[in-house]
Amino acid sequence: MAATPKEYIAHHLTHWTYGYHPELGWKVARDAAEAQQMGFMAIHVDSMLWSLGLGFVFLLLFWAVARKATSGVPTKLQAFIEIIVDFVDNSVRESYNGPSKLIAPLSLTIFVWIFLMNLMDLVPIDWIPATAQQVGALMGYDPNYVYFKIVPTTDPNITLGMAIGVLLLIIGFGIKYKGVGGFIAEFTLHPFSAKNPVLQAILIPVNLVLEVVTLLAKPVSLGLRLFGNMYAGELIFILIALMPFWIQWALSVPWAIFHILVITLQAFVFMMLTIVYLSLISAESEH
């Protein structure tokens, strides 16, 4: 592992990045500086692997339980998943007013997937990255340049990517319930309107700016809230790992217990805000 605390922290906060370097071509970045030089099109391979892998785990687990579900005495796993499904279903019923069969499955996917990604923050901070370094050393790589972050939600590319998905859903629901003309009118004729056509034409650019800013603020706040809370939690675990061994146990266990609430709450908040945003766009179409 890295020799100094600064190097240790920097190593744990650096992603396994692959992209096009302007001088070295397509390659894996050796450090954060090279990753930055690769620009916007670089891929955080570790975040992609873990997010897709955990999504597959979610699908496989729920499929396996649904396949063997029984109306009699359920297994403990089936009972646990039924509790989650009922919890999400009740949340949707209480918060969503529009007619859509997509909302409940979407909300369940968001909640469980984000929870599983957040849950990786409870894995001891050095276990998997250290294993990745050992594997890299066996393959001939310098272990100091082998990076492998395991918490996808500490990567803003993942959280903002999911938030952009929510934005596309908001736009899609708006067009579905209001039509293209009604959706455009929502952005150009509100919140300011006037009966005078000339004055209304003057107000259209003002309305457009205000409504677009409001629309974009929703996914940005969703993504940054999730990223900020999980990144802060990961950073605290890293700082605790720098302390003497006996202090680590005294601090990491209480923080991990508290963090269980954080990772669950963040998944719930992302799910609920998605439901609320889609409910608002559906309800507005009724007026």
Residue of 207, 229, 279, 282 with catalytic role? 229
Provide the β-strand partners of residue 21.
25
Q: Is 225 a catalytic residue?
A: yes
Residue 148 predicted with pLDDT over 60:
yes
Residue 7 predicted with pLDDT over 60:
yes
Which of the four pLDDT bands, split at 50, 70 and 90, describes residue 26?
Answer: very high
- In this prediction, residue 286 carries a pLDDT of 45
Residue of 90, 97, 193, 221 with catalytic role? 221
CA R_g for the chain: 23
The tens digit of pLDDT for each residue in 11-20 reads 899 999 999 9
Q: Rounded to an integer, what distance in angstroms lies between the CA atom of residue 24 and that of residue 17?
A: 14
- In this prediction, residue 2 carries a pLDDT of 52
Residue 67 predicted with pLDDT over 80:
yes
Looking at per-residue pLDDT, the higher value among 69 and 264 belongs to 264
Q: Rounded to an integer, what distance in angstroms lies between the CA atom of residue 159 and that of residue 221?
A: 10
Residue of 95, 100, 144, 225 with catalytic role? 225
Q: Where are the domains of the chain?
A: 51-124+152-284
Q: Rounded to an integer, what distance in angstroms lies between the CA atom of residue 269 and that of residue 95?
A: 13
Amino acid at 182: G
Q: Rounded to an integer, what distance in angstroms lies between the CA atom of residue 52 and that of residue 115?
A: 14
Residue 200 predicted with pLDDT over 50:
yes
Residue 59 predicted with pLDDT over 70:
yes
Which of the four pLDDT bands, split at 50, 70 and 90, describes residue 1?
Answer: low
Contact assessment for residue 107 and residue 275, using Cβ atoms and an 8 Å cutoff: yes
- In this prediction, residue 284 carries a pLDDT of 54
Mean pLDDT of 262-278: 95
φ/ψ of residue 210, rounded to 5: -65, -45
Residue 285 predicted with pLDDT over 50:
no
Residue 118 predicted with pLDDT over 80:
yes
**Percentage of residues in the chain having pLDDT higher than 70:** 98
Contact assessment for residue 273 and residue 222, using Cβ atoms and an 8 Å cutoff: yes
The tens digit of pLDDT for each residue in 215-235 reads 999 999 999 999 999 999 999
Q: Rounded to an integer, what distance in angstroms lies between the CA atom of residue 191 and that of residue 206?
A: 9
Q: Rounded to an integer, what distance in angstroms lies between the CA atom of residue 245 and that of residue 20?
A: 41
Q: Is 30 a catalytic residue?
A: no
- In this prediction, residue 287 carries a pLDDT of 42
Which of the four pLDDT bands, split at 50, 70 and 90, describes residue 192?
Answer: confident
